[in-house]
Amino acid sequence: MKIVYSELEKLHHPQYEFSFGKLVPYPEKNIRAQIILEELKKRSMGDLVVGPDEFPLDHLKAVTDPEMVDFIQSCEHLKEDESVFPHIFPYRDFTPDFSAHPRINLKKAGYYAFDVGIEIDRDTFTAAKASVDVALTGADLIRSGREERVFSLCRPPGHHAGYSHFGGYCIFNNAAVAAHYLSTMGKIAILDVDFHHGNGTQGVFYEQPEILYVSLHGDPAESYPYFSGFADETGSRLGCGTNVNIPLPAGIGDDQYRKYLEQGLLAVSEFHPEVLIVSLGLDIYKEDPLSNIGVSSGFFSEIAARVCSLNIPVLGILEGGYDMRDLGVNGANFIESLATTG
């Protein structure tokens, strides 16, 4: 078992976001992965931590619009006090000329963003690419046969980012990049237990028969991202049947969540994947400010144990989780159980 982490992930550090018309403190703190790491070290698991390798951009661009990647990378040339915040949204039904602004391409930010929750500065690409490398390093440890289980402490998270859009605190889709990298082994399954539906991951693989996406999440009729995650979204074309959405009713706890988890695990088991990627959202915790369901802290250990019971290699990837008081314990509970379950 290995745990992958990079200090570079902290460089992306927005201070505020617009939420329902108000400017509020940015909830996706840059120290989220570090807090979990510190708790793991308290549990004498620090010797399992490794740094990431650096991978070519080709792996990222295989599941991400190369022009969007290049745009975010171009923001490295911003000054220290400059940032790009999407507030101009070109229509998708025409092709605008994006060469007008001499330094900051304001139109492109709105062209690729699907919400106003992300600010891009000169460090954003470095942090987001490091998060991708953390995921790819975990995937490589499994693909090479060196490890059966790995947890990648990715930050920024990724499951809202799609082929040609970013948003929801996500720049690049770490799980999607890892799944594509692992797909040379055969069929890959992704189990997403973040409270918010992973619209980006679903979109990337919606027509892919060899990659199963299973998501347990808050009902999109009342929960972010609102426009995806409904049960009738099951995939299309060759991917018909390889997308499983399980919307959750508000107010459920451990006992009720367990039933839905078993439904998701059954779908994974029947798919017979070579590797299972778990997009771990710690925002299903009962004290999380951005969730309307709530499992206990100890339940994260149970989720990991049930995942391990499938007896296939597992790559865990950190997604959301915004209760900073218990974030470290909750994340460490999952990772420790992943490492110790027989």
Could you list the pLDDT tens digit for every one of the 342 residues in the chain?
999 999 999 999 999 888 888 889 999 999 999 999 999 999 999 999 999 999 999 999 999 999 999 999 999 989 988 888 887 787 666 655 665 544 556 678 888 999 988 899 999 999 999 999 999 999 999 999 999 999 999 999 999 999 999 999 999 999 999 999 999 999 999 999 999 999 999 999 999 999 999 999 999 999 999 999 999 999 999 999 999 999 999 999 999 999 999 999 999 999 999 999 999 999 999 999 999 999 999 999 999 999 999 999 999 999 999 999 999 999 999 999 999 998
Q: Residue 20: inside a domain, yes or no?
A: no
- Residue 182 domain-assigned (yes or no): yes
62: buried, middle or exposed (CB in 10 Å: 19+, 13-18, 0-12)?
Answer: middle
pTM of structure: 0.96
Residues paired with residue 216 on neighbouring β-strands, in sequence order: 246
pLDDT at position 97 is 62
User: Can you give the pLDDT at residue 98?
Assistant: 60
Asked, for residue 78, whether it belongs to a domain, the answer is no
Residue 94's pLDDT is: 60
| Residue 55 CB-half CA count within 13 A | 25
Domain of 174 in residue numbering reads as: 2-10+26-56+126-340
Half-sphere exposure of 1 (CA within 13 A, CB side): 17
**What CATH number is given to the structural domain containing 309?**
3.40.800.20
Within-domain flag for 118 = no
Instruction: Establish if 96 belongs to a structural domain.
Output: no
Q: How far apart are CA 208 and CA 210, in angstroms?
A: 6
Per the domain annotation, does 173 fall within a domain? Answer: yes
Q: How many domains does the chain have?
A: 1
DSSP state of 122: T
39 in a structural domain: yes
The closest alpha carbon to 188, from 176, 171, 200, belongs to 176
Quick check: 304 and 298 in contact, CB under 8 A? no
Q: CB under 8 Å to 87, separation ≥6 — which residues? A: 106, 109, 110, 116
Q: What is the DSSP letter of 166?
A: B
Residue 324 inside a domain? The answer is: yes
Q: Going by DSSP bridges, is the β-strand pair 149-152/2-4 parallel, antiparallel, or unpaired?
A: parallel
Question: Which of 12, 160, 197, 217 is the catalytic position?
Answer: 160
Structure tokens at 73: 């990378």
Residue 160: active-site member: yes
